[in-house]
Structure formats: structure tokens, C-alpha cells
Amino acid sequence: MGKSCGVTVVGLAAILAGCAASPSSISESDFRGGLPSEAITADLDTHAKEPYLSLGPAAGWLDAGAKFAVALSGSSSCPAFPSSIQVLNSQHVKLEVATHDAQACTADMAPHTYVIKTPADVDSSREVTLDVGETRVLLPPLPR
């Protein structure tokens, strides 16, 4: 009995260690679907209007630049998510994107949107370049 209990504890520890190493989202909130209608985007492209028709990310300002939203497309059961943010300068931000690899995912494509607090050293009054993984998206300048 002691030997099997020890194996169970070791197995449980391995599972928990795997969970702890898993990346997590840096967003304040998230929801299924594309950018909200109030998001201020650089252009009114197809992705902003109909996110189901585009595979690339889209982004827009929220709350007068206090936050921004990023819509990512991928499996509806295993959506990609922003896992880290790096401010390269006041007009250039890099978001790393991750997924949870341990689960089986559906082979569909659906948008999922994440709301992220704008870092203090980002100047929303000027155009901001947002690198989302390997894709570049522009956020328009907001009036002061």
C-alpha cells in the first residue's frame, strides 16, 4: 500500500508541475467573437466588420486608450491567447501568443478577443505598432 501511494503522489506532483509550467493569458478579460463595435481600429477592414472571414489578428483601442482589444482566430475549443507583453518603445508593443497544448482541439476557426490594459509607457495619441506573434497590426492615434 505504501509503494502505490508513493507512486500516486509522484504522479500527482508530475501533473501539477506540468500545469504550473503552462502559460497563461495576460488579458483582463476575454470573450468569444471579434472586436467589440466600440473598438477604434486603424481601418474598417473585413476582419473588424466580419472576423469570421479573416484568419489574422485584429486590434482596436477601448476606453479612450486605457485598454486595447486583440482578436485572434483559431480553434474555438483551444483559442490562442496573449501570454506576454513587451513595450519596445512608446509606439511599438510586442505580444507573444500561446496555446494550451495538452488538450485535443477542434479543427474549426473562430475569433476570440482579449482585452488588455495599455501599458503606461505607450502613447495612444500616436500610431502604435502592435506585433502579435509574427503579424503586425496598427492601432490608430487617438485624439487627446
Tell me how far apart the alpha carbons of residues 10 and 25 are, in angstroms, rounded to a whole number: 28
- Whether 29 maps to a domain, the answer reads yes
Task: Give the domain range for residue 80.
Answer: 24-139
Per-residue pLDDT of the chain (144 residues; tens, 9 = 90+): 555 555 444 444 444 444 455 789 999 999 999 999 999 999 755 444 555 456 789 999 999 999 999 999 999 999 999 999 999 999 999 999 998 876 788 889 999 999 999 999 999 999 999 999 999 999 999 998
- Whether 43 maps to a domain, the answer reads yes
- Whether 18 maps to a domain, the answer reads no
C-alpha cell of residue 47: 476582419
Instruction: Report the chain's terminal Cα–Cα distance, integer Å.
Output: 69
- Whether 8 maps to a domain, the answer reads no
- Whether 102 maps to a domain, the answer reads yes
Which pTM does this prediction carry?
0.79
- Whether 95 maps to a domain, the answer reads yes
- Whether 68 maps to a domain, the answer reads yes
**Total number of domains constituting the chain:** 1
Question: What does the DSSP assignment read for the chain?
Answer: -HHHHHHHHHHHHHHHHHHHHS-----SEEEESS--TT-B-SS--HHHH-GGG--S-EEEEEGGGTEEEEEEEE-SSS--EEEEEEEEETTEEEEEEE--TTS---S--EEEEEEEEPPTT--TTS-EEEEETTEEEEEPPPP-
- Whether 3 maps to a domain, the answer reads no
